[in-house]
Amino acid sequence: MIFAAPVPNADVATQAYSANYFGVPIEVTKGGRFGEVAPADWEASTGDPKYKWSDVAYAPDGMAESPGFSGFTTAQILNGIGKLSMAQHTSRSAAEAAASLDKFGFNNWLLPVSEEMRLIIDGVKSGKLNNVGLTSGGKYWTSSALGATPIVRWLSTNPAEGFSTMPRTSMNYVRPIRYFN
């Protein structure tokens, strides 16, 4: 499933979009960069799995929020995990689950930044991304942090809801994304 703001010229984007992908192309950044959302059954047929954000004892405050920065933010989380001892790193994290996905012919999956997850949720709410299959009311991890605390987003009909911070050990849903041109 492809995500983001509406494509200015959908015909051109669709022509550039290969049949090897699993959704409808929507432009992420000006210049033709697109994002793809992994299907709901990316890890199991039962839908999105839940993971903790990470065992990392810190989250660099102010991690990039803009679409297109998921590679940077996911790498920052993975680098922090890489500095932990085996005793400190007790279970798989959201970023590790997303980054280790090697399915659908691609292995460049990432944990989305908060703004990308908002775009996905907005697409679902508007009916443009009906087949993304997000868990209604389910909180989804992002690779963003606010005040050194990880950010979650969720599908909500109330515009004032749908965004929060949570402790990094909380169990929340994960939905990987990837970029392509």
Task: Name the pTM for this structure.
Answer: 0.78
> In the chain, where are the structural domains located?
2-180
How far CA 14 is from CA of 1, 20, 99, in Å, comes to 13, 12, 27
Per-residue exposure over 4-38, b if at least 16 CB sit within 10 Å of its own CB, e if not:
beebeeeeebeeebeeebbbbbbbbeeeeebbbbb
Give the per-residue pLDDT at 131: 72
The series of mean pLDDT values per 10 residues for the chain, 181 residues long, is 42 39 48 76 86 72 72 84 70 90 88 86 78 82 81 72 84 89 67
DSSP state of 166: -
Q: Which residue has the tokens 């959704």?
A: 23
Nearest residue to 25 (alpha-carbon basis) of 41, 42, 8: 8
